[in-house]
Structure 1
Amino acid sequence: MSAWHARMAAGCALVLALAACTSDDKPDASGNKRPVEAGDTYVALGDSYTSAPGVGAPTGPAGCLQTDGNYPHLLAAALDLELTDASCGGAKTENMTTRQQAGGDSVRPQLDAVTKTTDLVTLSIGANNGEVYGSLVITCAQLAVGNPTGAPCSDLAQQNPDVLPKIFDEVGASIVEIVGEILERAPKARVVVVGYPQIIPATGTCPELPLGAGDYPFGRGVIEQFVEAQRDAAAEAGAEYVDVWTATEGHDICGEEPWIAGVRPTRNATAYHPYAEEQQAVADLVEETVSGPGA
């Protein structure tokens, strides 16, 4: 063998060795797409639309308002998964990496539940950023008392038109970062971002959602912007996305068969939060997604 051939052989050997080392050290992207199997470990991250207050028996820290009727518990039971439910009512994107004060409980960052052995992570977060959801269903309803036929909440938002778009952008960027952090901690986890449902009707009004008549389109648009931020962030981060918005059409607070409770829930739930039907629908959607190979 000539000296040139020897150098080439040595170089090829070095490249192959480096490739082998790299293959061992990098997360196996294909591992993120395999179907979820019985016995897999599952971590649920999210806010009250994941914890589902009032829907079932309480679980987890009292301040987080988790119940065993929420979609993580339903999904875990259906697929025989080992569930760690880290969801917490009132959670913001920041509480994935920082502690949350929930009632009398100081709750650990939700991402602490994700480890290298985690096989599945669901994430639904964002609407509490900037206190937006609470302001929408509480403050806007209070404003409507003095202006029931107008759009007092929309009028107030228009006084500072840059605030909401900034929050939507921040939510999207945060979800991209959170998915990246999940995969750093659990390189072979399958990550699914779960969107919010339709909460406010496309047309009409109802006593169960006492907004000013002109604020219904505004409120619906706010929730839809959060959903778009979740969907777009999932695509950017390479996570899967479960579209709850489409599946809940006609089941908003004012629907004939509402899956979201109004100001006075008619069955087990908390005001302005999901009923059991919505949580079952979400569990079914996620089950359908993770039972097959990822896209």
Structure 2
Amino acid sequence: MSKRMPRFAALTSSLLLAAGAALFGAGQASAAAQADFGYVALGDSYSSGLGAGGYDTASGDCKRTTRAYPALWAAAHAPQTFSFTACSGARTGDVLANQLAPLNSGTDLVSITVGGNDAGFSDVMTTCVLQSESSCITRVNQAKAYVDSTLPGQLDKVYNAIDSRAPAARVVVIGYPRFYKLAGTCTTGLTEGERSAINGAADHLNAAIAKRAADHGFTYASVVGAFTGHEICSGSPWLHSLNWLNVPESYHPTAAGHSGGYLPVLTNAA
């Protein structure tokens, strides 16, 4: 269980609204509940929105977009402050070096996805697409070994830094979806063995992230359920398959994946 109560939910609870309405009127009470709420969105391409399109040119290679789930949440809830520092390609070290400046004692909510780049999942996908099934599974197992041996310590550094800078914040650590629907509609490309191995690696990564989040008193939020039925090889995918015209967007959530998958998960956890 998280050591942090969901402050946004508490501030907007019916009890506080009722009390505020008696003093200020219902509309003013609702505004007051959000007046000092600060939200900071950290992480990698799954947070910045790579794959969703509509990128903010000012964000450069970070590929941030208003179609990403952090921006969608902020648009829906209107926090007083919203800092969006997530960046495509970010590893744990990049979060530490470049993304934490907006955090402070007044930060109420932090969301983050990170760990996939540390584990080398881009290289995993490249290996699986271009090489044999045995090479793919070997590379998957190497990534899983890194997740077991090294990633927990890297996540601890990030989580400790967040806790130190924003001790009152509710921190929602969000995982990654499974990429493939097995026995789905795909008739070419990877083998079923490769797809199964990749899904298993995603589960392995998510389990490690969830464990570290729980040990720090953070809330872990899984998107696996939200994306079930919307994987690659499903009838309604929320993830890009391999896109030779825009390779970086491959294996990332679409705009629908952010609005229909990640956004509801963050909303329920925040």
Q: What TM bracket, shorter-length normalisation? A: 0.7 to 0.9
Residue 209 of structure 2, aligned match among 216, 222, 230: 230
Residue 121 of structure 2, aligned match among 112, 115, 133: 133
Residues 72, 214 of structure 1: CA spacing in aligned structure 2 closer, same or farther, 3 A cutoff? same
**For residue 20 of structure 1, what is the aligned residue in structure 2?**
none
Structure 1 letter corresponding to 2:78: D
Note the 1:1-295 alignment, pairs <5 A.
Answer: 33-36=6-9, 38-39=34-35, 40-59=37-56, 60-81=58-79, 82-98=81-97, 109-130=98-119, 132-143=120-131, 147=132, 150-154=133-137, 156-157=138-139, 164-204=144-184, 206=186, 210-264=189-243, 270-280=249-259, 281-290=261-270
**For residue 22 of structure 2, what is the aligned residue in structure 1?**
none
Q: Secondary structure at the match of 2:210?
A: helix
Q: Secondary structure at the match of 1:174?
A: helix
Q: Secondary structure at the match of 1:241?
A: strand
Q: Which of structures 1 and 2 has the bigger CA Rg? A: 1
Measure, in 2, the Cα distance between the counterparts of 1:120 and 1:65: 22
Do 1:151 and 1:212's aligned partners in 2 also have CA atoms closer than 8 Å?
A: no
Do 1:47 and 1:88's aligned partners in 2 also have CA atoms closer than 8 Å?
A: yes
Residues 247, 169 of structure 1: CA spacing in aligned structure 2 closer, same or farther, 3 A cutoff? farther
- Per-residue deviation at 1:165? 1.8
- Per-residue deviation at 1:97? 1.5
Residues 113, 216 of structure 1: CA spacing in aligned structure 2 closer, same or farther, 3 A cutoff? same
Bigger mean CA offset, 77-86 vs 110-119: 110-119
Q: Where in structure 1 are there 5+ consecutive unaligned residues?
A: 1-28, 99-108, 291-295
TM (normalized to structure 2)? Answer: 0.80
Do 1:118 and 1:188's aligned partners in 2 also have CA atoms closer than 8 Å?
A: yes
Bigger mean CA offset, 120-129 vs 56-65: 56-65
Q: Where in structure 2 are there 5+ consecutive unaligned residues?
A: 10-32
Do 1:152 and 1:215's aligned partners in 2 also have CA atoms closer than 8 Å?
A: no
Q: Secondary structure at the match of 1:91?
A: coil
Measure, in 1, the Cα distance between the counterparts of 2:155 and 2:139: 24
Q: Secondary structure at the match of 2:101?
A: helix
Measure, in 1, the Cα distance between the counterparts of 2:182 and 2:167: 40
Measure, in 2, the Cα distance between the counterparts of 1:221 and 1:205: 19
TM (normalized to structure 1)? Answer: 0.73
Structure 1 letter corresponding to 2:8: P
Bigger mean CA offset, 29-38 vs 179-188: 29-38
